[in-house]
Structure 1
């Protein structure tokens, strides 16, 4: 998941268009999970997009810390 939001918006050949991270989340809901898409203006969709953006910022820092202080991450 590291860096996934840095490549969005991205052209997705299967969809034939450029998708935002929120649109990609909905594609996953529909195709991978056989679920219903979330409306883009809902708090839940905003939270999912924010989660991916935050996780992508934190992941590189956590990786550096884990390498520097491996005993903390056992």
Structure 2
């Protein structure tokens, strides 16, 4: 499917999201990559064989206050 040089990663490669978009619908939240992967804004994917890949955004660390918490006075 890919006509780019160098060729984009295949739909089953670990770096498949690096393929170039050939169609995108930002109002609907998805892009079609040249390797046949549908990439969703939430980082979920639909592979050409119909398998779904769950969203995989990096986990956000909990917010830590710059001030130490005060302990109750006994």
Greater radius of gyration (CA): 2
TM-score range, shorter chain: under 0.3
Query: Normalized against structure 1, the TM-score is what?
Result: 0.22
Greater fraction helix: 1
Q: Which has the higher contact order (CA 8 A, sep 6+)?
A: 1
Query: Normalized against structure 2, the TM-score is what?
Result: 0.22
